[in-house]
Amino acid sequence: MADFTSRNGGRPRRLVLIGPPGSGKGTQAQILADQLGVPAISTGEMLRAAVAAGSDLGKRVRRQMSGGGLVDDPTMAELVRERLARPDAAEGFLLDGYPRTEGQAATLEEILAGRGQSLDGALLIEVPEEELEQRMAGRGREDDDQGVARARLEVYRETNPRLVGYYQRQGLLREVDGHQPIERVTLDILAALGEAR
């Protein structure tokens, strides 16, 4: 697997994690954030917090998420734009849960360009589907009941090929086998980033 470095020079620090629900993106984001010294930003956690707060945004999000669908693009763009403007993300970030579609990827590119920045890489964590269903069933989250979990996987299957193609065309995509121990997945990601120790 070839290494890649930041388009801005130096180590890659603006990264997105792509993968199906239950692939371990959140776990890897937390580990890698410590390794790379950048914040792990989970849009899923941000959306769940909005729902828990019961705000107008939260109510809108709850309606959209309850059937396993994606939150609409304008809402997601607003959420991501605000989060990336915070001081802790000025030098980089690990974005987990966004973008999920080719359109959102283009929006993220525009958000970063408006800040004089660009994405350094997109990491695709791949896991067999039967393993994903087992993992999601074991998480016990409200949005992971069997019907919703299947709906989320179906949405992922429909949208992911175009998203992956988008990042492949830009030379930003690196694929990692997520069906192995957590520590091994981390090492493989770091190797892809040229950060192996």
Per CATH, the number for 22-192 is 3.40.50.300
Residue 142 is predicted with a pLDDT of 59
Residue 140 is predicted with a pLDDT of 61
d(CA 77, CA 60) in angstroms, rounded, equals 15
HEC per residue, the chain: CCCCCCCCCCCCCEEEEECCCCCCHHHHHHHHHHHHCCCEEEHHHHHHHHHHHCCHHHHHHHHHHCCCCCCCHHHHHHHHHHHHCCHHHCCCEEEECCCCCHHHHHHHHHHHHCCCCCCCEEEEEECCHHHHHHHHHCCCCHHHCHHHHHHHHHHHHHHHHHHHHHHHHCCCEEEEECCCCHHHHHHHHHHHCCCCC
Low-confidence ranges of the chain (pLDDT < 50): 1-8, 196-197
How confident is the model over 53-64, as pLDDT tens digits? 888 888 888 888
Tokens representing residue 54 in the block: 């019961």
Residue 1 is predicted with a pLDDT of 36
d(CA 159, CA 189) in angstroms, rounded, equals 23
- Residues assigned a catalytic role: 25, 100, 139, 141, 152
Measured over the CA atoms of residue 27, residue 29, residue 30 and residue 36, the dihedral's sign is positive
Tokens representing residue 52 in the block: 């828990």
Residue 143 is predicted with a pLDDT of 57
Residue 54 is predicted with a pLDDT of 87
Residue 10 is predicted with a pLDDT of 57
Residue 159 is predicted with a pLDDT of 87
How confident is the model over 95-114, as pLDDT tens digits? 998 998 999 999 999 999 99
Cβ atoms of 96 and 31 within 8 Å: the answer is no
Residue 196 is predicted with a pLDDT of 37
Overall pTM surpassing 0.85 (yes/no): no
Q: Would you list the domain boundaries of the chain?
A: 22-192
Strand partners, 98: none
Residue 22 is predicted with a pLDDT of 86
